[in-house]
């Protein structure tokens, strides 16, 4: 199969139509199509289906969703306008509860909307703020990438899980941003992408975007990771994050398994994330883990894999204690244990 071209950033504001454009990630790697999204309902649908996904991209989607609600509102009175935008904002933020960036992006643009003296000014400010978020996201990822280079030795084989790449952000990526920056700096790198069941973000998305960049990538079944570590075939583990509380890193289900195995085999386990993913005011126990529908696990490729009589649990994320994390790479530098994320006690 020929590797398709990426037509544009993962998510962007379309000034012509006054709406959002995003790559529909459910179609990759077979097709790369862009959705023109003109309503909040369509955006919520796209976020729930994971057409647009990944923590930083969700942050931008949240901000742009509030801008969309503001632009589409016909209210002329400030109070009615605010009620409408706030209702839309709450609906967007509730779509996926674990990734803190979604509510962070929603709240950032909503705060600007609330400051505006009238609906017309609010619409203008909301769009500018949302567009600025997308631009900042790109710059932030580039800084994360550059800060992470020091952790990637020449010749490294890097195991990653899910997709923390350009498709999970506006461009470049967090964990894959580090891979890209290291490759650009001349390091020879090989990536082992865990397929990431049940929705295969590793196989479909990570392998797709790295192949396009000419970065060596091999997809493995998730269950192969521990054995490859035991055989000395993995130099380091590098993943993204959906939320980092004062005590744990929340990321795609399966991440904790890699962290435990990495510690057992003396392999560094790194997390790359923007500061907008930090949530030091929360602890692991207070975070809702998204549980998704049965069909994502019980069916695949048009076939039923699980008998109707059996129950299915489809947890979308897990939590890895910070004690298993060797370093957190942010846009402001590399954090090492004990972590001072702003919570009460260093972990
Ligand atoms: O369910 P998804 O595909 O949105 O989950 C995404 C992840 O778990 C990513 O690893 C995380 O958002 C970091 S993206 C830079």
User: In angstroms, what is the span from residue 160 Cα to ligand 1's centroid?
Assistant: 12
pLDDT at 342: 77
User: In angstroms, what is the span from residue 102 Cα to ligand 1's centroid?
Assistant: 12
Per the structure block, which two tokens stand in for 198? 């049940």
User: In angstroms, what is the span from residue 58 Cα to ligand 1's centroid?
Assistant: 9
**Mutation choice for ligand 1 from 22, 52, 55, 279, CB with most ligand atoms inside 8 A:** 55
Q: Work out the angle between the directed axes of helices 55-72 and 78-93 (0-180°, nearest 10).
A: 150
Residues with CB under 6 A from ligand 1: 50, 53-56, 99, 162, 164, 168-169, 174, 201, 240-242, 251-252, 316
CB burial of 216-252 (b: ≥16 within 10 Å; e: otherwise) equals ebebbebeebbebbeeeebbbbbbbbbbbbbbbbbbb
Q: How many helices (H) and strands (E) does the chain have?
A: 11, 16
User: In angstroms, what is the span from residue 340 Cα to ligand 1's centroid?
Assistant: 24
Specify whether the CB–CB gap between 206 and 160 falls below 8 A.
Answer: yes
**Mutation choice for ligand 1 from 240, 315, 318, CB with most ligand atoms inside 8 A:** 240
pLDDT at 57: 98
Please state the atom number of ligand 1 nearest to the C-alpha of residue 272: 15
CA distance 305 to 299: 5
Which protein residue's CA is at the shortest distance from atom 8 of ligand 1?
A: 252
Please state the atom number of ligand 1 nearest to the C-alpha of residue 58: 4
Per the structure block, which two tokens stand in for 211? 């192949």
Torsion of CA 289, 290, 293, 295, to 10 degrees: -80
In the residue annotation, 242 being an active-site residue is answered as yes
Percent helix, strand and coil across the chain, each to the nearest 5:
45, 20, 40
What pLDDT tens digit does each residue of the chain (347 aa) get? 455 556 689 999 999 999 999 999 999 999 999 999 999 999 999 999 999 999 999 999 999 999 999 999 999 999 999 999 999 999 999 999 999 999 999 999 999 999 999 999 999 999 999 999 999 999 999 999 999 999 999 999 999 999 999 999 999 999 999 999 999 999 999 999 999 999 999 999 999 999 999 999 999 999 999 999 999 999 999 999 999 999 999 999 999 999 999 999 999 999 999 999 999 999 999 999 999 999 999 999 999 999 999 999 999 999 999 999 999 999 999 999 999 897 656 66
Of the listed 79, 146, 242, 247, which one is catalytic?
Answer: 242
**Mutation choice for ligand 1 from 46, 47, 104, 162, CB with most ligand atoms inside 8 A:** 162
């Amino acid at each position: 199969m020929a590797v398709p071209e990426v037509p544009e950033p993962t998510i962007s504001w379309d000034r012509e139509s006054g709406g959002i454009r995003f790559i529909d990630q459910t179609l990759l790697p077979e097709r790369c199509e862009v959705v023109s999204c003109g309503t909040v309902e369509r955006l919520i649908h796209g976020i729930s289906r994971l057409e647009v996904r990944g923590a930083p991209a969700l942050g931008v989607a949240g901000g742009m969703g509030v801008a969309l609600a503001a632009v589409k509102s016909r209210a002329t009175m400030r109070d009615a306008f605010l009620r409408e935008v706030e209702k839309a904002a709450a609906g967007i933020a509730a779509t996926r509860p674990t990734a803190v960036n979604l509510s962070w992006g929603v709240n950032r643009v909503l705060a600007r909307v609330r400051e505006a003296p009238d609906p017309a000014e609010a619409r203008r400010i909301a769009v500018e703020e949302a567009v600025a978020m997308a631009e900042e996201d790109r710059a932030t990822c580039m800084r994360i990438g550059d800060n992470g280079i020091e952790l990637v030795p020449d010749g490294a084989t890097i195991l990653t899980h899910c997709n923390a790449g350009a498709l999970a952000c506006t461009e470049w990526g967090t964990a894959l941003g580090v891979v890209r920056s290291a490759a650009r700096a001349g390091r020879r790198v090989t990536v082992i992408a865990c397929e990431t069941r049940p929705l295969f973000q590793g196989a479909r998305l990570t392998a797709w975007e790295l192949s396009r960049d000419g970065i060596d990538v091999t997809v493995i079944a998730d269950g192969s990771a521990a054995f490859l570590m035991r055989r000395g075939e993995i130099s380091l583990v590098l993943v993204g994050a959906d939320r980092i509380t004062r005590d744990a890193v929340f990321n795609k289900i399966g991440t904790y398994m890699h962290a435990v195995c990495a510690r057992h085999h003396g392999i560094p386990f790194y997390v790359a994330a923007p500061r907008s993913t930090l949530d030091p005011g929360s602890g692991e126990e207070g975070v809702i883990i998204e549980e998704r529908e049965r069909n994502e696990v019980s069916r695949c490729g048009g076939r039923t894999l699980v008998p109707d009589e059996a129950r299915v649990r489809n947890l979308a994320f897990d939590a890895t204690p910070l004690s298993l994390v060797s370093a957190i790479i942010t846009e402001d530098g590399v954090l090492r244990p004990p972590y001072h994320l702003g919570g009460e006690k260093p972990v």
